[in-house]
Structure 1
Amino acid sequence: MAKETKKITYSEIARRSGISIATISRVMNNSSNVKDETRKAVIDAMKELGYDTSALEVLPSKNNNLILFNIPSMDNPFYSPIIQGAKAAALRNGYNMLLNADPIDEPSINDFLSLLKKTDAAGVIATNCMPRSALLKLNNTIPLVQCCECIPSLDIPFVTIDDVTAAKNAVEYLISLGRKRIAFINGPLQYKYAQDRLKGYLAALDEANFERDSSLILQLQEISYDMAVSAAFQLLNTSNRPDAFFTSSDVYAAAVINAGRKSGLSVPQDIAVVGFDNIDLSFMCTPSITTVNQPKFQLGFHSCEMLIKRICNEQLPISSMYLNTELIIRETTQKV
């Protein structure tokens, strides 16, 4: 950071130079992802405004070819093929990829920015659910693409799916099987996917003129198999139990199958089950799980391709992408 006798005001530099605040922030953080002529224009404007630019005179290396891929934790198997897709795109374009598992939020954003400086990363792919302030701060520091999780209202590119439509189609399929009381096991509501899958579930019920029953919605705080088994078991042992479950994760769907066995019920005879993600667990279970397939490899691949375009051309227009999903019919919804 340049040393100065007065506080640096990015908006003042932007007015003088005609360069965006986001690009000025990259110059101030000695990012290599800025064209030489752009960097010079920012430094010249700062000199005209009386700022000390000595710390910015040494240009950073242009040889950094590292992409940092960040996930919230290593516990969720959903991320594995996404990571594989991103790595394939990175190698295809001559980049290396570093995997990091950490939350990115208000308490941790500065630590994450320090990690970016230490690794000299050229850009970041983030699958994290982030508050707007942390997301904007990160985007103003380094080229960024969001994968799966995103805030569509911000001008930050992302690759994701239409969770509302995917969930609605899954619940409509259960309704077409003649199921009347459809429960929903959902993940943490701070995540976009959980909010949107809840919207899709409710939309399907409304269109079928089914009464909304809050007792059928189980809102869990993490992707936990044990928590889902316990929650489903309690619901299956009520006097008016559900005859179907839609779950926002295949992990939850497997938990419902286990809870059904413990309750003396059969899948799909007594309860039909639809999961989400199409991870390996979904076809390894007995019975195999009907699920919504996300194009996981493609999510990672396209996110990385999009990021590399941002790294190579900072003037590239913002673009985002919604990939298609598919309902995979398996044994947990066979007609009986």
Structure 2
Amino acid sequence: MKEPPPLRKDVCMNKKKPTYSDISRITGVSMATISRIINNSGSVKPETRQKVMGVMKSLGIDTSELSIIPRESNLIIFNVPSFDNPFYSTIIHGAKASAKRNSFTLLINEENIQDRNVDEFTALLKKSKATGLITTNQLAPHILEKLDRTVPVVQCCECIRDLDIPFVTINDVATAHMAMEHIIALGRKKIAFINGPIRYKYAQDRLKGYIQALEYAGIQKDQDMIIQLSEINFDMAVSAAIQILNSPKRPDAFFTSSDVYAAAVIKAAKRLGIQVPRDVVVVGFDNVEISSMCNPSITTVNQPRYQLGFLSCEILVKRINNDPTIVGSMYLETELIIRESSSISLNYQES
């Protein structure tokens, strides 16, 4: 094995304690891998470990307690922001199937990870001897990087694309545009949009797709037609839909970023004696169970939720095992499922 490169004078003469950045610059090894070596978390190639430890010794760092420690558990943490959103259930099933296939155990964690509790969450990872983390949360870049320095991380659905942390997601902009094209093709022009918390990538991108489709069709965007909700909440969405349906600018269609919102629009329309889809077309997103159980059933975007969870876990296992065949980030395909809420018969077409 090649000897580590000679230390630069500015590093040798620096009296401050060497940092991860110093070690990374000298070895050419990522800070996430260096962290796993120092914390004995995750798998690292023996030659990489030896190279890093050699440089650490030359920097005067005591490496006597950094001997190779075998993995103490096969625990993977799957983090979701809320159990209330039915969207996550099938994703979790997919991740569980992959974990079982690879002899890992999946533990579900419900928590919004922020600056105020990230230290508590990293302590949980260490205390539970977790070997990896899948997160569906919207996280700040510095928090995501901190977690990845503790254990290998894979982003699922929500992601920060310009970080060197793999993700599995869909193209929300293009998919929202596709759903809007369907509504516009039905002759609808006063299209309201009910969106989820704007801090999430999916909400930002689906809003972009909505606006993009309006622009392409030559329809003027009306800010009053965009309803931004703070959470995925059925009752809140019903109230919002009733309010806009009672307004002078009553829409003739709704596109929603969640099937929960779409179901709420249908309930609001029924309360007001408005017929779906004759008077108002409704299109949802996610294809969760409620979309087929509603009356009328909801036209929606099908996300491959099982595959999102399964592939996220497959990539994570490869990261944990330092598998050289690891696949990079992935965008999965979606499809529009047309059901009763947008199936307008010839008798319903307006002249």
Provide the C-alpha distance between the structure 2 equivalents of 1:15 and 1:261, rounded to a whole number of angstroms: 64
Deviation at 1:31, TM superposition (A): 1.1
Structure 1 residue 213 corresponds to structure 2 residue 222: yes
* Partner in structure 2 of residue 127 of structure 1: 136
Deviation at 1:317, TM superposition (A): 6.2
Provide the C-alpha distance between the structure 2 equivalents of 1:206 and 1:17, rounded to a whole number of angstroms: 50
Pick the aligned partner of 1:332 from 316, 341, 349: 341
1:42–1:232 Cα change, 3 Å: same
1:236-282 CA distances to partner (integer Å, 9 max, x unpaired)? 00112001000000000011011111222111111110000000000
Q: Mapping of 1:129-278 within 5 angstroms?
A: 129-278=138-287
Provide the C-alpha distance between the structure 2 equivalents of 1:310 and 1:169, rounded to a whole number of angstroms: 34
1:170–1:207 Cα change, 3 Å: same
Structure 1 residue 117 corresponds to structure 2 residue 140: no
* Partner in structure 2 of residue 27 of structure 1: 37
Moved more, 137-146 or 234-243: 137-146
Structure 1 residue 53 corresponds to structure 2 residue 57: no
* Partner in structure 1 of residue 113 of structure 2: 104
Pick the aligned partner of 2:71 from 62, 71, 91: 62
1:43-102 CA distances to partner (integer Å, 9 max, x unpaired)? 332222112334434x43325322111111111110000000011111111211111111
Deviation at 1:14, TM superposition (A): 2.7
* Partner in structure 2 of residue 43 of structure 1: 53
SS in 1 for 2:192: strand
TM-score normalised according to structure 2 size? 0.90
User: Is the CA contact (8 Å cut-off) linking 1:34 and 1:314 kept in structure 2?
Assistant: no
Provide the C-alpha distance between the structure 1 equivalents of 2:25 and 2:209, rounded to a whole number of angstroms: 45
Which amino acid counterpart does residue 92 of structure 1 have in structure 2?
A: R
Which amino acid counterpart does residue 48 of structure 2 have in structure 1?
A: T
* Partner in structure 1 of residue 10 of structure 2: none
Which amino acid counterpart does residue 246 of structure 2 have in structure 1?
A: N
1:322–1:303 Cα change, 3 Å: same
1:102-161 CA distances to partner (integer Å, 9 max, x unpaired)? 112222211111111111111111100001110111122221110000011112111001
SS in 1 for 2:150: coil
User: Is the CA contact (8 Å cut-off) linking 2:315 and 2:326 kept in structure 1?
Assistant: no
User: Is the CA contact (8 Å cut-off) linking 1:127 and 1:148 kept in structure 2?
Assistant: yes
Structure 1 residue 301 corresponds to structure 2 residue 332: no
TM-score normalised according to structure 1 size? 0.94
1:180–1:15 Cα change, 3 Å: closer
SS in 2 for 1:91: helix
User: Is the CA contact (8 Å cut-off) linking 1:138 and 1:144 kept in structure 2?
Assistant: yes
Which amino acid counterpart does residue 212 of structure 1 have in structure 2?
A: K
Provide the C-alpha distance between the structure 2 equivalents of 1:178 and 1:98, rounded to a whole number of angstroms: 47
* Partner in structure 1 of residue 86 of structure 2: 77
SS in 2 for 1:169: helix
SS in 1 for 2:284: strand
User: Is the CA contact (8 Å cut-off) linking 2:173 and 2:206 kept in structure 1?
Assistant: yes
Pick the aligned partner of 1:14 from 20, 24, 39: 24
Which runs of 5 or more structure 1 residues have no equivalent in the other structure?
A: none
Instruction: Please give the root-mean-square deviation of Cα atoms over the aligned residues, in Å.
Output: 1.7
Provide the C-alpha distance between the structure 2 equivalents of 1:60 and 1:107, rounded to a whole number of angstroms: 31
Which runs of 5 or more structure 2 residues have no equivalent in the other structure?
A: 1-14
1:285-309 CA distances to partner (integer Å, 9 max, x unpaired)? 1111110000000100111111111
Which amino acid counterpart does residue 101 of structure 1 have in structure 2?
A: E
Deviation at 1:190, TM superposition (A): 0.8
Provide the C-alpha distance between the structure 2 equivalents of 1:218 and 1:264, rounded to a whole number of angstroms: 21
Aligned length, in residue pairs: 331
Provide the C-alpha distance between the structure 1 equivalents of 2:315 and 2:102, rounded to a whole number of angstroms: 11
1:15–1:245 Cα change, 3 Å: closer
Moved more, 17-26 or 134-143: 17-26
* Partner in structure 2 of residue 285 of structure 1: 294
Provide the C-alpha distance between the structure 1 equivalents of 2:212 and 2:25, rounded to a whole number of angstroms: 47
Aligned-pair identity in percent equals 59
Provide the C-alpha distance between the structure 1 equivalents of 2:167 and 2:84, rounded to a whole number of angstroms: 23
